[in-house]
Amino acid sequence: MAPSSSLPYAGDVSATEAWKRLAADPKVQLVDVRTLAEWNFVGVPDLSSVGRQVHCIEWQDFPHGAPNPDFVAQASQALNDKDAPVLLLCRSGARSRAAAIASWSRSNGWKRPRNYRRVRLRRQSRHRKPAI
């Protein structure tokens, strides 16, 4: 999906498009903004086939849903290339969209964060490819 100038971030991409980008461009980074409980119960995407790892940084805590005030700082520290395209992931797309907006709107140097929208991750081990 093409970026929209009306969006306060680079735009949304489907799960299929996100995987294609991860496979094609070694600079693309994936930040999983779900909660620790979700990572433990559902698992995290396995990017080993493309030679990278997922950056797991909670956007909100569980079970209260309080925003993580340090999200942008934690994500900025985890990302090794601020010029790299960034994909943000959550189950429904709502938290990843909010994280994309926050990441773009704060002066943190990220280039064009994108929301990896409406991802439906099946229950998986920590060592499987994302279910797309």
Which sequence spans correspond to the domains of the chain?
12-116
109 Rama sector, left if φ>0, alpha if ψ -120 to 50, beta otherwise: left
Cα 90 to Cα 12, 42, 47, 82, 121, distances in angstroms: 12, 11, 16, 21, 9
pLDDT of residue 7: 64
Q: What angle do CA 115, 99, 12 make, to 5 degrees?
A: 15
- CB under 8 Å to 99, separation ≥6 — which residues? 31, 33, 59, 71, 75, 88, 90, 113
pLDDT of residue 126: 47
pLDDT of residue 56: 95
Whole-prediction pTM: 0.76
Pick the CATH number of 12-116 from 2.60.120.960, 2.70.170.10, 3.10.270.10, 3.40.250.10: 3.40.250.10
pLDDT of residue 32: 94
In the chain, which stretches have pLDDT less than 50?
Answer: 1-4, 118-132
